[in-house]
């Protein structure tokens, strides 16, 4: 076999002191949010009224829940395009079950199980058959949309006395139920990712799948599981959506996968995997929601809103990419300091 | 004496702090086969990459036909008539043989379309020149490696190459294919082509070469005609170093057998039998590609076994993946630290804790204070600065990165520790520390298997040596009595496996 080039000993960058990249990682996105809110409050007089803020929170909850699940997938370096279609499929199944007389809690659970099952298919195909997740989930995205149309025969099924409609429209202690559910999802997701054994393994798979396997991480299981989590979150979002519109809509969630990906990336999670935080995803969702609502309050035409949103997404990703790049090779870095 | 076709003078190449080539020279005459030999890392491949235009030299001259030339790209190299046959071929396996041969200068019709007829006819003619009957319409990827190599040679011949470099050309060839290659080499020699032949196989070199040049650690050692040199001369030119006290360790006394492998077989290795004892350091020596890493990966469950069994403390161990092997008490520090070992963006703490999380959690929740304390304890043992604990591991030097990987397995406290090239790319200070750790681990009763391509290191740090060649262990000997020459003879096959050896097989 080939002889080896002498391996280059990399320059050590054991450095201390202020690190802009690290600082931006922690608070950069938050500053963007605060600036945006300040701007909106200044321009749109009704913006920071409590009822408006709660409305914003409710309007972002579905996208935020999708994005929370998707964060797990993207942290492993994967992608899930099917979450939007899962919203439709799970919502349709839950509504149909409720109409058929299934008790509300079970119908809701069924919706989530449908979502998780879709995730299991996505994950197993990606992990065990080593198929590209982009293609696998593109396929299930199409399939599940077809399934939603098939079950509903292409027509929305309106269920005016839907047993679980409070899930979308109710309030608890003055807070919309979808907002509470979103909060629970984020608390649980944060705990799992930041505090558990499993969470560390998710980061490890995304950071370097080969190294993770050799370090004893069951890479295939982790990969499968993150799609199940994304599917279950999408299932929950689908049930909330159905409850909100009190009907089964085969077109529900169309394009939501892209908004969710935008929120995750805006929140600083690397599409390459291994880097990012769930709190960033929440802020990313809020930014997108605030931006939409603010632009509506300012009477900006819908077409223009899209232009602005597109620019914001690209800007955010550009900042993210620029801050990580110049770190690696810095001329004149000091050589290794060995610890005492 | 005829004027040299190609002459290299004072060629130097530096990679960071490492001098890969230190003012080496080399010359080649027309119609000659000149073998270039040296241990792994001697600089042969770097020199070839410079000739091929894949790497730019830092200093030195390249003289072709008495005229100094510059090679900045593969295109320059082929314009000067220099062709390289790599082990990794520069071809497109999905395309046909004819398409590959025409790559880059496809014939066109008057309308600018691809002229398939002429392309096929050209290909037939090119193949005929090397007396090959390969069907040019077949997809290249459907041919054996040997036949693909023939296609590469046909291309070199068709481009009227005057200097042909063959880098370990027979590594993947069957015996018959190798014979066919030897015939072609003769044919080209008669046509006045100068051939540079890089190989580790002594018999082959002695069959083909007119002259032999040896490099060692990036420096030129010497050149001789085949009839002036013997294989053992070449081997001592290749190793020619003395073991300094870097490797000094007090004698160790190995305990009972901890790991016992029988008839272990993988896709390209085996059957292999081996034993590791508690408190023992065993080094697997051999050339790159001899199957050492594969054996380690089979034991560790990283690759599928095709046969054989492994017993650990007398219990069968047949791990389906590394996670199971780790549970059985095996650890492995992989060969390529950055690609296989580390999570470069993640903190030093997470890199070290990752394989022991099951012991640092309670009901799946990480006990953070305990995790931090355990990690710091291992970092201290590895003499890693404690304030590096939250830094991304990529911010550490190569030596410190390797120590972080070692700390991971120290924390895991596995009984059997496999280290694949643990000191590659590591500075001398960190090397010494890694040797001390290995010694300390062995003394604490661990069984340690080290793979090393650095012969003095392999001999110096171990109790016993296993020499591998072509996927098998061809020699098992105590390190105390071993010399570099001895190991090299076994590794290259200069001494036949069947020949009687004075060294007994240990245990």
pLDDT grade for A317, boundaries at 50, 70 and 90:
confident
Residue B419 and residue B400 in one domain: no
Assess whether pLDDT exceeds 50 at residue A61: yes
| Nearest CA distance, A132 vs chain B (angstrom) | 21
Range of the domain at A307: 51-322
Please state the rounded mean pLDDT for residues B123-143.
85
- Which of B169, B346, B407 to probe the A interface (max A CBs under 10 A)? B346
Contact A14 B38 (CB under 8 A): no
Q: Which residue of A has its CA nearest to B328?
A: A216
Chain A touched by B231 (CB under 8 Å): no
Residue B506 and residue B401 in one domain: no
Assess whether pLDDT exceeds 80 at residue B286: yes
Of A5, A275, A336, the CB nearest to B15: A5
Assess whether pLDDT exceeds 90 at residue A71: yes
Chain A touched by B471 (CB under 8 Å): no
Please state the rounded mean pLDDT for residues A190-204.
95
Does A30 reside within a domain? no
**Amino acid B495: pLDDT:** 57
Contact A8 B16 (CB under 8 A): yes
**What SS3 state is found at B148?**
helix
Residue B124 and residue B167 in one domain: yes
Cβ-based contacts of B345 with chain A (< 8 Å): 207, 274-275
Assess whether pLDDT exceeds 90 at residue A186: yes
pLDDT grade for A323, boundaries at 50, 70 and 90:
low
Rounded to whole angstroms, the Cα distance separating B2 from B8 reads 16
Report the share of chain B in percent with pLDDT over 90: 36
Q: Which residue of A has its CA nearest to B340?
A: A211
Please state the rounded mean pLDDT for residues A166-171.
91
Does A244 reside within a domain? yes
Report the share of chain B in percent with pLDDT over 70: 93
Chain A touched by B394 (CB under 8 Å): yes
- E strands along B343-433, which residues? 361-362, 365-366, 416-420
User: In chain B, positions 136-175, which contact chain A (CB-CB < 8 Å)?
Assistant: 167-168, 171
Does B83 reside within a domain? yes
Please state the rounded mean pLDDT for residues B229-249.
70
| Last residue within a domain, chosen from B239, B257, B281 | B239
| Last residue within a domain, chosen from B239, B267, B295 | B239
Residue B319 and residue B375 in one domain: no
Chain A touched by B266 (CB under 8 Å): no
Contact A8 B425 (CB under 8 A): yes
Cβ-based contacts of A338 with chain B (< 8 Å): 383, 385, 400, 429-430
Contact A3 B339 (CB under 8 A): no
**Tens-digit pLDDT profile for residues B345-357:** 999 999 999 999 9
Does A93 reside within a domain? yes
Chain A touched by B372 (CB under 8 Å): no
Q: Where are the alpha helices (DSSP H) in B159-251?
A: 175-190, 202-208, 231-239
Domain CATH code at residue A201? 1.10.3470
Selected residue with higher pLDDT from B196 and B18: B196
| Nearest CA distance, B154 vs chain A (angstrom) | 22
Chain B touched by A207 (CB under 8 Å): yes
Does B350 reside within a domain? yes
**Amino acid B2: pLDDT:** 56
**Amino acid B25: pLDDT:** 92
Of B15, B45, B366, the CB nearest to A200: B366
Please report, to the nearest 10 degrees, the dihedral formed by the alpha carbons of residues B367, B369, B371, B374 taken in order. Answer: -140
Q: Which residues contact A311 (CB under 8 A, 6 or more apart)?
A: none
Residue B132 and residue B273 in one domain: no
Residue B231 and residue B372 in one domain: no
Please state the rounded mean pLDDT for residues B102-128.
85
**Amino acid A97: pLDDT:** 95
Assess whether pLDDT exceeds 50 at residue B487: yes
Assess whether pLDDT exceeds 50 at residue B34: yes
Please state the rounded mean pLDDT for residues A23-27.
67
Assess whether pLDDT exceeds 70 at residue A118: yes
**Amino acid A332: pLDDT:** 33
Of B87, B334, B429, the CB nearest to A214: B334
pLDDT grade for B427, boundaries at 50, 70 and 90:
low
User: What ipTM goes with this model?
Assistant: 0.81
Of B198, B340, B400, the CB nearest to A214: B340
Residue B155 and residue B222 in one domain: yes
Assess whether pLDDT exceeds 50 at residue A7: no
Contact B396 A11 (CB under 8 A): no
Sign of CA dihedral B349, B354, B359, B362: positive
Contact B302 A214 (CB under 8 A): yes
Selected residue with higher pLDDT from A1 and A126: A126
- Which of B238, B343, B451 to probe the A interface (max A CBs under 10 A)? B343
Based on the structure, what is the number of domains in chain A? 1
| Nearest CA distance, B233 vs chain A (angstrom) | 21
Please state the rounded mean pLDDT for residues A34-51.
81
Assess whether pLDDT exceeds 50 at residue A33: yes
Based on the structure, what is the number of domains in chain B? 3
Q: Which residue of B has its CA nearest to A273?
A: B345
Assess whether pLDDT exceeds 90 at residue B105: no
Does A298 reside within a domain? yes
Please state the rounded mean pLDDT for residues B466-479.
90
Which of A162-171, B42-51, B325-334, B425-434 comes out lowest in average pLDDT? B425-434
**Amino acid A108: pLDDT:** 95
Please state the rounded mean pLDDT for residues A284-293.
89
Does B336 reside within a domain? no
Selected residue with higher pLDDT from B248 and B27: B27
Assess whether pLDDT exceeds 80 at residue A47: no
Chain B touched by A212 (CB under 8 Å): yes
Cβ-based contacts of B350 with chain A (< 8 Å): 200, 203-204
Please state the rounded mean pLDDT for residues B9-32.
87
Range of the domain at B409: 341-413
Does B129 reside within a domain? yes
Residue B201 and residue B324 in one domain: no
Does A15 reside within a domain? no
Does B168 reside within a domain? yes
pLDDT grade for B277, boundaries at 50, 70 and 90:
very high
Does A6 reside within a domain? no
Residue B211 and residue B360 in one domain: no
| Last residue within a domain, chosen from B239, B270, B292 | B239
Please state the rounded mean pLDDT for residues B58-84.
89
**Amino acid B127: pLDDT:** 87
Residue B231 and residue B256 in one domain: no
Contact B355 A216 (CB under 8 A): yes
- Per the prediction, chain B carries an average pLDDT of 85
Cβ-based contacts of A127 with chain B (< 8 Å): none
Contact A1 B394 (CB under 8 A): no
Which of A296-300, B167-171, B387-391, B481-485 comes out lowest in average pLDDT? B167-171
Please state the rounded mean pLDDT for residues B198-214.
86
Residue B21 and residue B159 in one domain: yes
Does B335 reside within a domain? no
Domain CATH code at residue B181? 3.40.50.300
**Amino acid A320: pLDDT:** 65
**Amino acid A37: pLDDT:** 84
Of A217, A274, A336, the CB nearest to B323: A217
Three-state SS sequence of chain A: CCCCCCCCCCCCCCCCCCCHHHHHHHHHHHHHHHHHHHHHHHHCCCCCCHHHHHHHHHHHHHHHHHHHHHHHHHHCCCCCCCHHHHHHHHHHHHHHHHHCCCCHHHHHHHHHHHHHHHHHHHHHHHHHCCCCHHHHHHHHHHHHHHHHHHHHCCCCEECCCCCCCHHHHCEECCEEHHHHHHHHHHHHHHHHHHHEHHHHHHHHHHHCHHHHHHCCCCHHHHHHHHHHHHHHHHHHHHHHHHHHHCEECCCCCCCHHHHHHHHHHHCCCCCCCCCCCHHHHHHHHHHHHHHHHHHHHCCCCHHHHHHHHHHHHHHHHHHHHHHHHHHCCCCCCCCCCCCC
**Amino acid B202: pLDDT:** 77
Which of A34-38, A291-295, B426-430 comes out lowest in average pLDDT? B426-430
Cβ-based contacts of B388 with chain A (< 8 Å): 14, 339
Residue B430 and residue B399 in one domain: no
**Amino acid A281: pLDDT:** 94
């Amino acid at each position: 076999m080939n002889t080896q080039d002498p391996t280059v000993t990399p320059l050590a960058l054991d450095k201390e002191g202020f690190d802009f990249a690290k600082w931006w990682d922690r608070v950069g996105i938050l500053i963007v949010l605060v600036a945006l809110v300040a701007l909106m409050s200044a321009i749109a007089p009704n913006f920071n009224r409590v009822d408006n803020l709660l409305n914003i929170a409710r309007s972002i909850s579905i996208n935020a829940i999708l994005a929370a699940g998707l964060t797990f997938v993207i942290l492993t370096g994967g992608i899930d395009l099917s979450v939007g279609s899962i919203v439709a499929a799970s919502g349709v199944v839950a509504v149909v079950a409720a109409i058929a007389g299934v008790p509300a809690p079970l119908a809701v659970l069924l919706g989530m199980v449908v979502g998780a099952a879709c995730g299991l298919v996505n994950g197993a195909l990606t992990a065990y058959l080593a198929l590209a997740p982009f293609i696998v989930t593109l396929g299930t995205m199409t399939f599940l949309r077809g399934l939603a149309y098939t079950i509903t025969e292409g027509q929305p099924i309106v269920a005016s006395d839907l047993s679980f409609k409070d899930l979308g429209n109710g309030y608890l202690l003055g807070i919309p139920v979808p907002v509470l559910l979103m909060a629970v999802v984020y608390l649980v997701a944060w705990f799992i990712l930041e505090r558990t054994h499993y969470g560390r393994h998710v980061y490890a798979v995304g950071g370097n799948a080969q190294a993770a396997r050799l370090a004893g991480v069951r890479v295939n299981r982790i990969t499968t599981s993150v799609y199940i989590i994304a599917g279950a979150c999408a299932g929950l979002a689908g049930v909330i959506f159905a409850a909100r519109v009190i009907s089964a809509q085969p077109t529900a969630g169309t394009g939501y996968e892209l908004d969710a990906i935008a929120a995750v990336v805006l929140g600083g999670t690397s599409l390459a995997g291994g880097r990012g935080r769930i709190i960033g995803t929440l802020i990313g969702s809020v930014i997108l929601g605030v931006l939409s609502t603010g632009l509506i309050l300012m009477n900006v035409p819908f077409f223009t809103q899209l232009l602005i949103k597109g620019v914001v997404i690209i800007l955010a990703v550009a900042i993210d990419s620029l801050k990580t790049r110049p770190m690696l090779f810095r001329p004149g870095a000091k050589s290794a300091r060995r610890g005492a | 004496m005829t004027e040299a076709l190609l002459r290299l003078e004072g060629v130097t190449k530096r990679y960071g702090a490492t001098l890969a080539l230190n003012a080496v020279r080399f010359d080649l005459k027309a119609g000659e086969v000149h073998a270039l030999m040296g241990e792994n890392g001697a600089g042969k491949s770097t020199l070839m990459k410079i000739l091929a235009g894949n790497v730019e030299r830092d200093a030195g001259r390249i003289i072709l036909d008495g005229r100094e030339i510059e090679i900045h790209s593969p295109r320059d190299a082929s314009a000067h008539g220099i062709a390289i046959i790599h082990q990794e071929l520069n071809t497109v396996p999905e395309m046909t043989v004819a398409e590959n041969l025409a790559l880059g200068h496809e014939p066109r019709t008057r309308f600018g379309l691809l002229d398939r007829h002429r392309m096929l006819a050209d290909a037939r003619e090119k193949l005929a020149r090397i007396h090959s009957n390969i069907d040019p319409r077949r997809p290249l990827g459907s041919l054996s490696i040997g036949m693909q190599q023939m296609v590469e040679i046909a291309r070199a011949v068709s481009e009227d190459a005057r200097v042909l470099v063959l880098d370990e050309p027979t590594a993947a060839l069957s015996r018959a294919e190798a014979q066919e290659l030897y015939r072609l080499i003769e044919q080209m020699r008669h046509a006045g082509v100068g051939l540079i032949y890089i190989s580790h196989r002594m018999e082959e070199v002695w069959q083909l070469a007119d002259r032999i040049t040896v490099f060692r650690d990036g420096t030129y050692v010497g050149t001789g005609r085949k009839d002036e040199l013997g294989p053992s001369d070449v081997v001592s030119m290749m190793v020619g170093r003395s073991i300094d006290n870097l490797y000094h360790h007090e004698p160790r006394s190995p305990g009972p057998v901890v790991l016992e492998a029988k008839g272990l077989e993988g896709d390209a290795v085996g059957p292999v039998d081996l034993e590791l004892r508690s408190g023992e350091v065993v080094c697997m020596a051999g050339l790159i590609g001899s199957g050492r890493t594969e054996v380690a990966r089979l034991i560790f469950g990283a690759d599928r076994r095709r046969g054989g069994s492994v017993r650990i403390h007398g219990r069968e161990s047949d791990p389906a993946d590394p996670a199971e092997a780790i549970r059985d008490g095996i650890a492995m520090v992989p060969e390529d630290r950055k690609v296989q070992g580390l999570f470069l963006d993640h903190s030093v703490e997470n890199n070290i804790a990752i394989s022991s999380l099951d012991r640092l959690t309670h009901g799946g929740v990480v006990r953070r204070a305990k995790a931090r304390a355990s990690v710091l304890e291992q970092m201290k043992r590895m003499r890693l600065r404690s304030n590096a604990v939250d830094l991304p591991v990529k911010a550490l030097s190569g030596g410190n990165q390797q120590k972080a990987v070692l700390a991971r397995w120290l924390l895991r406290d596995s009984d059997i520790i496999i280290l694949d090239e643990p000191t590659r790319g590591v500075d001398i200070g960190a090397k010494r520390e890694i040797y001390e750790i290995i010694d300390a681990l062995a003394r604490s009763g661990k069984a340690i298997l080290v793979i090393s391509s650095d012969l003095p290191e392999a001999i110096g740090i171990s109790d016993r040596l296993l020499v591998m060649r072509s996927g098998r262990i061809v020699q098992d000997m105590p390190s105390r009595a071993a010399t570099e020459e001895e190991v090299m003879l076994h590794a290259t096959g200069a001494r036949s496996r069947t020949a009687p050896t004075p060294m007994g097989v240990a245990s």
